[in-house]
Amino acid sequence: MAPTTPGLHHVTAIAGDPRANAEFYVGALGLRFVKRTVNHDDTGTYHFYFGDEQGTPGTNITFFPWTDRGHSGQFGAGQTRDTAYLIRSDSVDYWADRLASQGVAVDRSERFGETVLGFDDPDGIGLELVGSEAAREADAKPWADSPVPADHQLRGFHSVTLAVDAFEPTAEVLTDVLGYELEGEDDGRRRYRTPDGGPGSAVDLVETDADRGHMGVGTVHHVAFEAADVHEQERWRGVFRDHRLDVTEVIDRKYFQSIYSREPGGVLFEIATTGPGFTVDEDVDELGSTLTLPEWLEDERERIEAQLPEFEGPTAETGGN
Ligand code: ZN
């Protein structure tokens, strides 16, 4: 049985200062700080997750804040250029005003018949808010304590835009491996979508003349797609191997199980399971309020906490919990 073409699960990027990162995603964008843990592969670095009220897959942007010890990244081919969130069409003016009042420079444009607000986060990571009727069907859950009123809150992902030096190698992975379909072209951009066409199901490709990018502060580390469960994920491992793509073993990320494969255009793809989700170690009311560690790191908590950079926020004034 062929696995079902996956929509987006999360996007993970590298930030600098943890406080500036949390203040922006919670205080300015109104996402909930749903989990603070550490990078399992580098426990001296936090791993922050921002999403809807419950951290529903398809709403979470996550960060490794490297602080000023980390080197800057260089944007280029083989990287995610923009991560786009859905907003309601009638929320576009609200967001244009809100971002302007926060001192964020916004570029407003039309694309595939939808209005796009483009801007950078404090580390230069490309973000977009796309006014779309699809926002009404999205299953993102509003967060009651957000500084953004429920009707205007981000409704989960709209799409990601991957910059590649040539369309074909990455397009083939999207279509022949993952089962995406070419939906259309607009101004040199190709949009691919899952056959079911739900919200958060588009991947855009743009070609760039830039050299291959370098991972570091201000760049996206990987894009994760969602598999319903570990059986579906195992089927994906088989599909990747059948297409002669390297793919990792299953890795336990506590909140989901993950496999990774770097597509030939250079972008690191992950397939992450829907569950068990963020309420596996904190109640919904408590999400993000404490430093959580997986069982296999709990014995080292004292050492890990001592190594982490100082971080208090986000503050109550900016809507943090
Ligand atoms: Zn990931």
Backbone angles phi, psi at 133, to 5 degrees: -65, -25
Q: Indicate whether 318 pLDDT > 50.
A: no
Q: Separation of 223 CA from ligand 1 center, angstroms?
A: 7
pLDDT of residue 199: 82
Cβ–Cβ < 8 Å for 170, 205: yes
How far does residue 208's CA lie from ligand 1's centre (Å)? 25
Tokens at residue 197, please?
């066409």
**Ligand 1 centroid vs 10 CA: distance in angstroms?**
6
- What would the pLDDT profile of 82-138 be if each residue is shown by its tens digit? 999 999 999 999 999 999 999 999 999 999 999 999 999 999 999 999 999 889 888
What is the enclosing helix (H) or strand (E) of 125? none
How many whole angstroms from 137 Cα to the centroid of ligand 1? 25
> How far is the C-alpha of 22 from the C-alpha of 42, rounded, in Å?
20
The pLDDT assigned to 197 comes to 86
Contact between 58 and 156 (Cβ < 8 Å): yes
Domains in the chain: ranges and CATH: 8-318 (3.10.180.10)
Parallel, antiparallel, or unpaired: how do β-strands 157-164 and 107-111 relate? Answer: unpaired
Rounded average pLDDT over 258-283:
98
Contact 250, 260 (CB under 8 A): no
| Average pLDDT of the segment spanning 65-90 | 95
Q: How far is the CA of 11 from the centre of ligand 1 (A)?
A: 7
Rounded to the nearest angstrom, the distance between the alpha carbon of 90 and the centre of ligand 1 is 32
55, 225, 156, 319: CA torsion to nearest 10: 40
Q: pLDDT at residue 247 above 50? A: yes
Express each pLDDT in 273-317 by its tens digit.
Answer: 999 999 999 999 999 999 999 999 999 999 999 999 999 867 544
Give the max Cα distance, the chain.
54
Q: What's the 222 CA to ligand 1 centre distance in angstroms? A: 6
Q: How many whole angstroms separate alpha carbon 24 and alpha carbon 61?
A: 12
- Ligand 1 centroid from CA 269, angstroms: 8
Which of 132, 138, 91, 99 minimizes the C-alpha distance to 118?
Answer: 99
Query: Ligand 1 centre and the CA of 261: distance in Å?
Result: 11
Query: Please, which residues have CB within 8 angstroms of residue 241's CB and are 6 or more apart in sequence?
Result: 247
The whole-chain average pLDDT of the chain stands at 95
Phi and psi (nearest 5°) for 119? -160, 170
Q: Which residues pair with 10 in a beta bridge?
A: 60, 224
* Pairing of β 107-111 and β 114-120: antiparallel
β 126-131/114-120 pair status: antiparallel
Q: Which residue has the tokens 């300015």?
A: 28
Task: Report how far ligand 1's centroid is from the alpha carbon of 136 (Å).
Answer: 26
0.95 cut: is pTM over it?
Answer: yes
User: Rounded distance, CA 50 to CA 36, Å?
Assistant: 9
Q: Are 215 and 221 in contact (CB under 8 A)?
A: yes
User: Helix (H, G, I), strand (E, B), or coil: what is residue 73?
Assistant: coil
